[in-house]
């Protein structure tokens, strides 16, 4: 058979491409052909019309919205998250095969059911316009409610992360060049007993604050967009392009009233639901053309703005303030508990939803000026691949050759703060690997907070070490977590049902590598 697939994850860095590779390998192993479109941060060429037309079924392995999903409206579809594709791509290929055979056996029934995948027309459009349909939601409508909400939220996070990376690193470089007082110099305020009036005219920025001031201003402007972008693209994930304007407006209002990230989440969901409701209204043909461009954004912006300012905004702002005060109270002997908890979350699903919650929390802390939490999150995210890589060196015979090869790549992935480098190990042996990863990352997170190390950069790992405060202690915390991960995993594999097969395979002198890999794949 011939299949097409689309893979997409919130960050678009690792899971997207790992899922694509797993699907390609599984399809080839099953004797099928597959073409995969990776909607990741690096971008990719869209699938050709001929590929889609010739496909027997479509596989969506995505945790966020699939762009231009209507291209596949008449094809049998299998929908799953990217981790399902990474962990068990063969099962998805089997499901796609079954879906294709079922559709071929009952073509009439399939053709009647196919339009149910998408909303057949924009709001108010006549029946004849259904051929130009847009999907009702950017997230597949037939998934469970919990999955849909998670996908909507991850869509917002996905579009927010480039602002985080660009803004955070620019601010970090500004601090490195101009010192910690550069924020007070640009925005005004007190620093170490000196009062700064700030720079109100952007034309004077370079002359009065230098290149460091320019870097800080650009980076802080990017950070100011975090909540609006998060809110706008949550609404986009729910209701496509008509949701962007009311979502961003709601996010701007959330920032203005102090509701922060929590307010951005709520405003995005509100905007999405309001637009989804407006799109269902039937209007005359003459009005239908202006509905998505004028009427829907206009009404939705007003409704969302009214709700944020009058109804939900102030309670959310109070909750956000209370949470911030509670976190600020975690100091001295208790702050390390927060670092340990974030470390556990970073390692629990190695780049999945729980990991993203912890990372988003670190970003929120960074946006409020707390660089210690961001340092703990980044260090804890570096630890899992590094600890696994160390384990493959310390006790080689406990791992297959394929795992040892993955361990070599894990060194670079871990140093670069790509937690997904641990996925091949966690997928193969979750009961022993995941608890070991959590122990190591919790150790690292707790130590970073206890040491008071800081990171104004939200990503980069070892490559932004020059921006990290107390870099030696930061590295000590990462090294300690590596050792804990390695020790726990070696002990678990040695004493809790040791895997003898890899050792026997490696003991066979001259055993061909393809045989080992084939045995591991089996």
Alpha-carbon dihedral sign for residues 409, 415, 420, 422: positive
> Of the residues 9, 301, 486, 488, which is catalytic?
9
Those residues with Cβ within 8 angstroms of residue 363's Cβ, 6 or more apart along the chain or in another chain? 160, 164, 168, 226, 374, 458
**Complete edge-to-edge strand list for the sheet that includes strand 2-8:** 33-38, 2-8, 57-62, 77-80
DSSP codes joined into one string, 223-249: HHTHHHHHHHHHHHHHH-GGGHHHHHH
Q: How far is CA 146 from CA 153, 262, 508, in A?
A: 11, 18, 49
Q: Does residue 9 have an active-site annotation?
A: yes
Contact call for residues 271 and 227 (beta carbons, < 8 A): no
Q: What is the 3-state secondary structure (H, E, C) of 343-399?
A: HHHHHHCCCCHHHHHHHHHHHHHHHCCCHHHHHHHHHHHHHHHHHHHHHHHHCHHHC
Nearest to 434 by CA among 445, 421, 418, 423: 423
**Cα pseudo-dihedral 395, 401, 403, 408, rounded to 10:** 80
Residue 445 CB burial class (10 angstroms; 0-12, 13-18, ≥19)? buried
**DSSP character at residue 140:** -
**DSSP character at residue 509:** T
CB atoms within 10 A of CB 5: 28
Half-sphere exposure of residue 353: CA atoms within 13 angstroms, side-chain side:
16
Extract the tokens encoding 321: 């303030």
Nearest to 457 by CA among 375, 383, 395: 375
Give catalytic residues, as residue numbers: 9
């Amino acid at each position: 058979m011939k299949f097409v697939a689309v893979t997409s994850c919130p960050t678009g860095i690792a899971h997207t491409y790992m899922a694509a590779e797993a699907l390609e390998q599984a399809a080839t192993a099953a004797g099928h052909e597959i073409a995969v479109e990776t909607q990741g941060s690096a971008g990719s060429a869209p699938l050709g019309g001929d590929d889609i037309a010739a496909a027997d079924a479509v596989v969506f392995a995505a945790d966020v919205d699939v762009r231009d999903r209507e291209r596949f409206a008449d094809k049998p579809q299998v929908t799953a998250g990217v981790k399902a594709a990474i962990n068990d791509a063969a099962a998805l290929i089997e499901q796609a095969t079954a879906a294709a055979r079922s559709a071929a056996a009952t073509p009439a029934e399939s053709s009647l059911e196919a339009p149910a995948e998408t909303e057949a027309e924009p709001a108010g459009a006549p029946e004849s316009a259904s051929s130009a349909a847009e999907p009702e939601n950017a997230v597949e409508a037939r998934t469970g409610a919990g999955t849909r909400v998670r996908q909507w939220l991850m869509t917002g996070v996905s579009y927010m992360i480039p602002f985080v990376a660009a803004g955070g690193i620019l601010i970090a470089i500004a601090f490195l060049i101009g010192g910690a007082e550069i924020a007070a110099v640009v925005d005004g305020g007190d620093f170490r007993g000196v009062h700064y009036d700030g720079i109100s005219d952007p034309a004077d920025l370079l002359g009065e604050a230098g290149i460091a001031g320019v870097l800080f201003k650009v980076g802080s402007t990017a950070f100011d967009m975090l909540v609006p972008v998060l809110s706008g693209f949550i609404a986009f994930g729910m209701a496509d392009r008509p949701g962007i304007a009311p979502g961003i407006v709601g996010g701007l209002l959330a920032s203005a009233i102090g509701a922060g990230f929590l307010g951005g989440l709520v405003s995005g969901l509100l905007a999405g639901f309001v637009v989804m409701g407006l799109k269902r209204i039937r209007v005359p043909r003459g009005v239908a053309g202006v509905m998505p461009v004028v009427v829907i954004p206009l009404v939705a912006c007003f409704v969302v703005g009214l709700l944020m300012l009058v109804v939900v905004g102030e309670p959310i702002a109070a909750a956000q303030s209370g949470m911030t005060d509670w976190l600020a109270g975690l100091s001295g002997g208790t702050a390390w508990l927060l670092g340990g908890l974030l470390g556990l979350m970073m390692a629990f699903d190695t780049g999945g939803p729980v990991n993203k919650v912890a990372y988003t929390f670190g970003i929120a802390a960074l946006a409020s000026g707390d660089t210690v939490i961001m340092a703990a999150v980044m260090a804890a995210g570096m630890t899992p691949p590094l600890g696994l890589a160390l384990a493959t060196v310390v006790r080689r015979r406990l791992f297959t050759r394929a795992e040892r090869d993955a361990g070599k790549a894990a060194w670079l992935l871990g140093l670069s703060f790509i937690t997904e480098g641990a996925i091949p190990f966690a997928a193969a042996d979750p009961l022993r690997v995941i608890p070991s990863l959590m122990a190591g990352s919790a150790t690292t997170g707790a130590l970073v907070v206890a040491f008071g190390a800081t990171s104004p950069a939200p990503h980069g790992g070892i490559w932004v070490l020059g921006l990290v405060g107390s870099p030696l202690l930061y590295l000590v915390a990462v090294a300690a977590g590596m050792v804990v991960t390695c020790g726990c995993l070696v002990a678990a594999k040695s004493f809790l049902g040791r895997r003898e097969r890899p050792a026997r395979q490696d003991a066979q002198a001259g055993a061909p590598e393809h045989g080992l890999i084939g045995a591991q794949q089996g």
